[in-house]
Amino acid sequence: MNVKKCQVLVVGAGPGGYVAAIRSAQLGLKTVIVEGERAGGTCLIRGCIPSKALIHAAHTFHGLAKHANEGGHMGISIPGPAELDMGNLIGWKEGIVDRLNKGVEALLKNAGAELVTGWAVFQDAKTVKVGEGKEATLIEADHVIMAQGSVPIELPFMPFSDHVLSSREALALETLPDHVVVVGGGYIGLELGITYRMLGAEVTVVEAMDTVLPLFDKELRRPLELYMKKNKIKVHTGVFAKGVEELDNGRVKVNFIDKNEQDESKMQSVEADKVLVTVGRKPRSDGLSATGVALNERGFVKVNDRCETNMKGVYAIGDLCDSGEMLAHVASFQGEMVAELIAGHTRAYDPVGVPAIVFTEPEIVAVGLSPEQAKEAGHPVIVGKFPLAANGRALTQEAEKTGGFIRVVAREDDHRILGIQGVGTHISELVGEWTLALEMGALLEDIAHTVHAHPTMTEMTHEAVLDTLGHAIHKM
């Protein structure tokens, strides 16, 4: 058996793992990273990036459909209806994925990190075996960074199949379904559901909670709910999915019932071509028993604010650990942090705010505390808002049509910004300034006295801050 020895072993080349490996190698540490599939992980290969590519394509197709309507749109008309070739669309998406995958591999190589392809099987906390038989490789390390990520949750009464899909399969469909039922009204389900609706499919959402996107407050959800209603996306909330039945016509019937209903004769159903199950993700923590690392009751690896496990020299980052946020940017942040900790730097994971973005139409963005959260935390609160409809750049991009706005939450006494949220088309690109403001402990006056370029959508952040202070310039 081949034996490799290294200072840092990273298991998993997703957005946390590959960043950890690159930074470790940059710091002069002999680094090996093991990946069972393709470098880039869930986010790059079968999650964030491919879904955003499909979302962009759906927006483009939807816009062309407007131009093809009688009379055209924006003075532009197309002689006939736009046509969709799902196979070519998926091919275009895969081209982006391939380019980024090769980019990650090149970054690892240029930094000096060695990429080993294969599934890592832990022999103990600091040793993994990759491959079988004479071709197997044993990798021994001084420090181990676990970055195996997460996988979609599969419902036991609705197992994945040709008809029942996880987000992974939903991103690879080469034929547009006539009707998609989305089980789970969280961000993944709504992003993909709205995308397929824009591409022309009928979409029905089944959600157990009393509202979709329950993590966001009613004010933020409202423009999205109106958009879904306007675009004829059927939403059933407060219901439990009960399973699927295959039909003779090649479709399936999805059964669901009111969560408070005990009488199964009141079961409801809807026919569909595909069922997309998006009820959450779980850590890929199977096979860790040999390591001795402690897991919590949900299978996440227990870590402290340095992402250290209970085993000396063993770390867990990203979706695998119990830090709370299953987000690619959190994984990348933690990967860089842990590499620097191993190199002797002083770091800790203690962000003031972590941005959350839902790439629906309209998008929903939030960082820091909402008004209610701030009040519950005991802060004296003032709130300001500014609508997209009053911003010139938003109007030129038709971003105002979804009724969006920016909202700023601050302390009334010292004007320290506690949170910024927004909903609307294209607003995800604004979150960098919002997060930086919280991390730097900015006051309302810090943003109010910063020159914001015109015409840009960043002016809305400025105006929302001015509104919080009581004197927005362009708000009626």
- Active-site entry in 454, 462, 471, 474: 454
| Alpha-carbon gap, residue 151 to 362, rounded angstroms | 27
Residue 35, CA distances (Å) to 31, 128, 130, 148 in order: 13, 12, 10, 9
Non-local CB neighbours of 432 within 8 Å, separated by 6+ positions: none
Q: Give me the count of residues in the chain.
A: 476
CA atoms within 13 Å, Cβ hemisphere of 269: 15
Asked if 139 and 127 count as a contact pair (C-beta separation under 8 A), the reply is yes
Any idea which residue has 């911003």 for tokens? 391
Q: Which residue has the tokens 């009724």?
A: 403
Would you call 454 a catalytic residue per the annotation?
yes
Distance linking the first and last C-alpha atoms of the chain: 74
Is residue 206 within 8 A of residue 239, CB to CB? The reply is: yes
Residues 6 or more apart whose CB falls under 8 angstroms from that of 182 comprise 189, 190, 192, 193, 203, 204, 205, 206, 275, 276, 278
Contact between residue 196 and residue 177 where contact means Cβ atoms under 8 Å apart: yes
As annotated, the active-site residues are 454
